[in-house]
Amino acid sequence: MSTPEPRDPTVALTAETQAALSPMDVLQALKDGNKRFIDGTPLERDFMKQVRETAGGQYPMAAILGCIDSRVPHEIVFDKGVGDVFSARVAGNFVNTDILGSLEFATAVAGAKVIVVLGHTECGAVKGACDHVELGNLTSTLANISPAVYAINDFEGERSSKNKDFVQAVAHENVEMTVRNMVDRSTVMRNLVQEGKLMVIGAMHDVATGEVMFMEESMITAETL
Ligand SMILES: [Zn+2]
């Protein structure tokens, strides 16, 4: 089998170039993009050219589920362009029925190969859940993060947003639980993983450095399902 030419990442994905990517290729493309972001060497892209290239259809490589935090813009921190990634964002990067449905579209219908659950340091939603904040509709939003707060049950020290280590432990746990929820609560995505067409992985973005640390131990593939 001949090795295909590496695709030009500044050209929008097509059905063919999307099909040629494995989940591991996509993971590497995300890691490479974050490396360029933190090195200050993002690719030069003509966004309007990509708009024209994608007008007839989209073939993204990945779907990112992240927080609404203004410091974690997906396309920027992974150095991606128009048509490259689906982006689902909700305070505290958890899944509910609507987000699972959106990600089922992104993967089963539109062919994304990797889902990244992207938590981040200094997450206000996680801090709110740690402090059991109640405010309008936010109360029920934060209830989605509470299982991660209670799962950190052997923590020594103050269990509040004042304690950075506790907040980070909850944020990490929340990402791991969300990765697991993805395949536990979605038969569609579970089947894609079983068929080797999808990988789900957690990651943590450091808002102080811009670096995304992939949590390799959280990775769910056909082998680890
Ligand atoms: Zn956040």
What are the pLDDT digits (tens) for 198-207? 999 999 999 9
> What tokens does 70 get?
């203004």
78: nearest Cα among 133, 36, 132, 16: 36
Q: Which CATH superfamily is domain 15-119+185-220 in?
A: Carbonic anhydrase (3.40.1050.10)
The whole-number average pLDDT for the span 8-14 is: 94
Cβ-in-10-Å burial (0-12, 13-18, 19+) of 115 comes to: buried
How much is the mean pLDDT over the chain?
A: 96
What's the gap between Cα 51 and its chain centre?
23
Ligand-binding annotation for 67, yes or no, is yes
Angle at 142 between CA 102 and CA 103, to 5 degrees: 10
- Is pLDDT at 133 greater than 80 in this prediction? yes
Question: From ligand 1's centre to the CA of 173, what distance in Å?
Answer: 14
Ligand-binding annotation for 74, yes or no, is no
CA torsion through residues 193, 217, 214, 145, sign: positive
The whole-number average pLDDT for the span 57-63 is: 98
Ligand-binding annotation for 120, yes or no, is yes
How large a percentage of the chain has pLDDT more than 70?
A: 97
Ligand-binding annotation for 69, yes or no, is yes
Position 2 scores a pLDDT of 46
Question: From ligand 1's centre to the CA of 84, what distance in Å?
Answer: 23
Kindly list the protein residues that place their beta carbon closer than 5 angstroms to ligand 1, a single-atom ion: 67, 69, 123, 125
